[in-house]
Amino acid sequence: MIEATTGELLGYLADVIEHGERYGAIVAPPYDAPEVEWTREGERLAMNVEIHPPAGRRARVQITLAERWRPIGADRWELDEYAYELRDFGLDYRRALHQHDRDDFVRFFGVATHEHCEAVLGRPRCDHYAGVPCRDASDGLDRLYVIWTAGTKPDCSQLRCLKD
């Protein structure tokens, strides 16, 4: 698992924002929040970032990067879960890279990470696909940007479905 201090997490968030801006994207806080920042969810720290790629005026594309970090000691945090998602409303598809509910996924599917692939938004052929773990939010953003810049719907048939 990835571990960090509070100071390192502040630098990490700044790096994620800068990484998104290098793509020419608009990096914004979600849910009409005033700024992109770490927030508290009980004992955990939460990062929620919206990335709006430099698309044409009518294109509606959204990438979200969400992470939850849990405390593991004095000023020490561990990445507990992540959800990096791409929704292309113009082409009507969704791709997502997830790691959450780790114990349940390992018990039921034998993997900690999974992906979502909806060639038609809201109509998955498989609820969960096997996934390759992301190193961090920048890695997740890079993977989703490659999918988006292809300019076509993803081919979900190339992914291994986890039966649930």
State the CB neighbour count (10 A cutoff) for residue 14: 11
What is the block-wise mean pLDDT of the chain (164 residues), using blocks of 10 residues? 92 97 91 87 96 77 95 95 95 94 70 87 91 93 95 91 77
pLDDT at 57: 56
- Nearest C-alpha neighbor of 86 from the set 68, 66, 64, 67: 64
Cα-based angle 163, 140, 68 (whole degrees, multiple of 5): 80
pLDDT at residue number 110: 67
pLDDT score for 56: 64
pTM (global) more than 0.85: yes
Q: Where are the domains of the chain?
A: 3-158
- Intra-chain end-to-end CA distance of the chain, in Å: 26
